[in-house]
Amino acid sequence: MQHFYVWNFNKGKKIFFIVSLALITALILSFEPARLFSTFSTDQTTALTKGNVNENKLSLTFNISWGEEKVYDILQVLKDQKIRATFFVSGEWAERHPQIMEEITKQQHEVGMLGYRYKSYLDQDIDQVKKDILHAKEVFKRLGFKEMKYIRPPSGHFDKEIIALAEQLELEVIHWSVNPNDWKNPGVNEISSMVVENASGGDIILLHASDSAKQTAESLQTILPNLQKRKLSFVTISELLTEVIANEKLVE
């Protein structure tokens, strides 16, 4: 015998239910977008914010658009810990620091781009954005990076139109899911705690290697061993994306 359950509401209960439902919906929508799981899909234009949450792998990423000192400290820590990361670099900076670019690739880190000039894409019309991206691709090509796969829009500012343009130019937009705002230099303990307490499998961690990030290298000394103690391993964006695609195939 089938049983059907019907909720009976008097007028007061109906109002209470509607208000409660609205509050719950608002709470769900208020979550920071960067914490949502997004991946590339043929059905919907999106950015990669997080990888496969069922794997114990995460990506360490660094933005760099100016300065030439702090990046060496960060590269040394990564070398000592035998960890590969993904560096998102502006074309303008790469053009000025070819030797540092060589050192990044020598240590087998992955390179993505921040466009050419580090200026919000939402402050430019789409034609200007296209020119910026194409110019960046040419610069990286001259520097020996013939096939750039990934772009992180400056300041993480993008919309569907920008993502669609990137895909048209054969680039995948990479965002992040953990951001300790290390460039504000809130303190080594605060940066370390924020990452260690919030990072888990599939996460993309945003850090900076520009000279403004004065506490990042020291913070890594705490972040890296603590995450490794939790059996988390660090992979490049390409490796993280491979896990996402494999997971999608399993779902299909």
φ/ψ (deg, to 5) at 70? -65, -30
Note the pLDDT of residue 24.
45
Give the tokens for residue 54. 């069922």
Q: CB under 8 Å, gap of 24 or more: what pairs does 31-37 form?
A: 34/156, 34/175, 34/176, 34/177, 34/179, 35/177, 37/202
Note the pLDDT of residue 16.
46
- Torsion sign, CA atoms 87, 168, 164, 252: negative
Task: Supply the DSSP symbol for 155.
Answer: G
Give the tokens for residue 13. 């209960």
| pLDDT tens, the chain, 252 aa long | 333 223 333 444 444 444 454 454 444 344 333 333 333 333 456 899 999 999 999 999 999 999 999 999 999 999 999 999 999 999 999 999 999 999 999 999 999 999 999 999 999 999 999 999 999 999 999 999 988 999 999 999 999 999 999 999 999 999 999 999 999 999 999 999 999 999 999 999 999 999 999 999 999 999 999 999 999 999 999 999 987 664 543 333
Residue 57: left if φ>0, alpha if ψ -120 to 50, beta else—which one? beta
What are the distances in angstroms from CA 120 to CA 124, 173, 183?
7, 14, 17
Note the pLDDT of residue 84.
97
What letter represents residue 108's amino acid?
Answer: Q
Note the pLDDT of residue 46.
83
Helix (H, G, I), strand (E, B) or coil at 9: coil
Task: Supply the DSSP symbol for 48.
Answer: B
Note the pLDDT of residue 243.
72
The runs of H, that is alpha helices, within 83-125 are 91-96, 98-106
Note the pLDDT of residue 151.
98
Give residues with Cβ within 8 angstroms of 124, minimum separation 6.
132
Note the pLDDT of residue 32.
36
Note the pLDDT of residue 244.
67
